[in-house]
Amino acid sequence: MPPNHYERVPMDTIELLSTEEQQTQKTRHNRSGSTSSFVHFKALQPTTDVSHPLTEANALASQAFPSLIICVIGLIIAGWMMDIYQHWEVFSKISELFILVPVLLNLKGNLEMNLASRFSTSANMGDIDVPATRNALTLGNLALIQVQALIAGALAGLLSVGLGAILHPDQTTTFSDSLLVIVSSMVSASVSSFVLGLFMCVLIILSRIWRIDPDNIACPMASSLGDVVTLGILAECAHLLLINIDTSLSIWLLVVMLISIPFFGYLAWRNPHVKDLLFTGWTPVVVAMFISSGSGLVLERFVEQFQGLAMLTPILCGLSGNLGSIYASRISTCLHRSVQEQYTRVETTLMMMNVPIQVIFLFIIWVLDIGHLDFTFAFALSYFVVSMASTYAALKMGKSMTLTFWKYKYNPDNYVLPYLTAIIDVICTTLLVISFSLLDNQGLAELDHSS
């Protein structure tokens, strides 16, 4: 029988299973990789959400639109920061940092959006209404995300160094330069994970109190703020380590980061709500890292050729990925609660929300001359088409991935978003480079400043 054919029951009849009870009691609703024990339902009849479709769409638009506007502002700031950082000495000297940026931002974004999705599901299921459970979930998730961030930061740094050596065999990368990339990646991942993880937990708890669906706001906020915080810490840390490259600062920081992994791992291990996640859910994060490295390779190859590419890429990738993440998170919550999502109406609402957001963004970069782009009508039209195509792809992939993982008994909260955002990063970056190349070759906009 399909896993979503259950009857929803009142909140006071939902029961959480302890770890010991899970080992002895078998239920049909057993999914791997959960943040806590899954709820079990008493009947097996399909149900639908009782809320009116139009009311649901209005609630989605009214709650998600402000968070997406904040997301755009954050992404504009991130793009503006990247446009400045690309001229810094540390980025000019160590080109592996260009490969690292999209890989690290994708990894960090995945961890934070997974946290947001898991915590949002817990909120909608009523788990965080009990103070003791709420505190345990918060502390456990903060410890878990530290372990994940430190390991992911190390992997991202090692991958960037390896890809840099493969792509530029004629360039000599010293041990100090490689250590700088790895340590900068781990430090920025750890610090930003603590700041963003705490912020997301507080935001979702407040959303529950104010009766706002966290599925509509959590993922965009995690993504946009995460990019700004991580990028800023990465650039400043790399700059600091470059100044002190002849000292042992990098080695000492690496030692501290490595010691922190078992410490936070022990704290997560003692927490029953996140204990299982120490060993599950790594596959999508690692695979997504390799997928998103394709975006980093494209960016590293063309960032110095096309004017404004470094500024537009995080905005285009971030907004499309956020819209897809909202959709995937909503579907996952509906599956956990055994209610029917209004697929067509939600897809249409999210697609239509992308239109005014992109218009506002184009207007801002035109008025403020951000990125020093040759802002022609052809450029604006091509960017808008690429944005709509990317958003459509994100929504369709978010839906199909969520339903597929659920069908094969995997918790979508832990598996969908890494794959989704990584693939969207590659699609958006590739489409943007193609559109830049076509516009420049046809003389419709002067974007190639290498000629």
Give residue-wise pLDDT tens across range 17-44.
Answer: 444 444 444 333 444 444 333 333 333 3
Instruction: Provide the token pair at 314.
Output: 């995080």
What residue type is assigned to position 73 of the chain? I
Q: pLDDT tens for residues 129-145?
A: 888 989 999 999 999 99
CA distance 349 to 55: 12
What is the structure's pLDDT at 53? Answer: 57
pLDDT at 212 over 70: yes
Pinpoint the alpha helices (H) of 339-376: 343-368
What is the structure's pLDDT at 425? Answer: 87
Place of tokens 């781990």: 186
> Is the separation of the CB atoms in 309 and 432 below 8 Å?
yes
pLDDT at 217 over 70: yes
- Report residue 410: phi and psi, to 5°: -115, 140
What is the structure's pLDDT at 294? Answer: 80
Task: Between 264 and 358, name the one with better pLDDT.
Answer: 264
What is the structure's pLDDT at 30? Answer: 42
Lowest mean pLDDT among 67-81, 121-135, 181-195: 67-81
> Is the separation of the CB atoms in 160 and 99 below 8 Å?
yes
Mean pLDDT of 83-93: 87
Instruction: Provide the token pair at 123.
Output: 């909120």
What is the structure's pLDDT at 134? Answer: 92
> Is the separation of the CB atoms in 8 and 41 below 8 Å?
yes
Is-above-0.75 flag for pTM?
no
Average pLDDT over the chain, rounded to whole?
A: 81
What is the structure's pLDDT at 449? Answer: 61
In this structure, what is the dihedral angle of CA atoms 137, 67, 214, 429, given to the nearest 10 degrees? Answer: -70
Task: Kindly indicate the confidence band of residue 168, based on its pLDDT and cuts at 50, 70 and 90.
Answer: confident
- Report residue 324: phi and psi, to 5°: -65, -35
What is the structure's pLDDT at 5? Answer: 41
